[in-house]
Amino acid sequence: MSFSDLPKIGMGTFRLKGNDARDAVKSALSLGYRHIDTAQMYENEAEVGDGITSSGIPRREIFLTTKIWFDQLHASDLINSLHDSLARLKTDHVDLALIHWPSPGDEVPMAEYLNALRDAQREGLTDHIGISNFTCAQMDQAREILGDTPIFTNQVEVHPFLANRQVVEHARKLGIKVTGYMPLAVGKVMEDETLQRIARERNATPAQIAIAWVVSRGVVPIPSSTRSEHQKANLDALKIKLSDEEIEAIDALDRNDRIANPDFAPAWD
C-alpha cells in the first residue's frame, strides 16, 4: 500500500542501539505502530531493519523513514548513501527520505542535494521526500527548488517547552506537514507541574498529555521508547482530546528550550 499521509504517530529510534533498537521496533509494531523513524546518523538502520523483518508485519503496511546525513549531500554521495541505507534496512525502498540537516554553511548548494533527493524518488528508492531542521527561509528555498514535487514533511523539534510556532505555522502555510521529534523533551515533561496537574485530572501521564498537545497542533510526534508499556501509553495518548483551557495552559510553557542544537545548526527562527 502507498501512504498518502503520515501515520498519526511514529516510533523514534534516536539513541537506540543494538538489541535495544531491534526489540523496540519489533515491540512497537506488535502494539500497532505503523510508522518507524530512523537515520543514517543513528547507526541503527540494520537493527531497525531486523526489527521490521522479525515483527511479521508486512513491509507494505509499515511507513519507514530514514534521513541522509550532511556528509552525504553531494549528488553522487546522496544516492549511494541511500542505497546503503536500504541494504541495511533490508528493503528495496523507504516510504520517506529526509535531508537530516541543511548543509552546514551551505557548503553543498541546496539545489544540488534536493534535486538528487528528487532523483532518488524518481528511481523508486523512496516514495516521498522531505526535510528536517529547516528554518522558514530554508523551507521557502526548498519549495522554490522542488516546484511541484511535494515536500512531505519538515521534521523539527517540538515539545511543550519548544513550541517552534513560526516553523509550524510557516510549514502549514506551505502545505508541508510537520513531524515533531523529542516530543517528551527527553523526559523533562515528566517533571512539569502543569503537565502533572492535567495528567492527574485526566488519569493519564504527563508524557501522554505532552503527546496529545503535539497532536492537537496537527504535528506528528515520534517519541522514542524501549519499554513496551511506555510505547503503548504513547500510542494511547492519541485518544486524549485536550480542552481549549488545557491547550492554553500547555502553550504557556513554551520557553524556547531547544535540546537539539549542534554547532552546525542553521540560524533558528
Annotated binding site for substrate: 100
Q: Are 44 and 16 in contact (CB under 8 A)?
A: yes
What is d(CA 177, CA 130) in angstroms, rounded to the nearest whole number?
A: 10
CA–CA distance, 228 with 219 (Å, rounded to integer): 23
> Which DSSP state fits 91?
S
**Which stretch of DSSP H or E encloses residue 220?**
strand 220-221
What number of CA atoms fall less than 13 Å from residue 255's CA on the CB side?
8
Residues in the chain, total: 269
**CB-side neighbour CA atoms (13 Å) of 143:** 16
CA atoms within 13 A on the CB side of 216: 22
Type of residue numbered 27: S
Residues that constitute the known binding site: 100
| Position 173, amino acid | K
Amino acid at 2: S
Among 33, 42, 113, 181, the active-site one is: 42
Residues 6+ apart with CB under 8 A from 122: none
Measured between alpha carbons, how far is 100 from 82 in angstroms, rounded to an integer? Answer: 12
Active site (annotated) includes residue 42: yes
Q: Which residues are catalytic?
A: 42
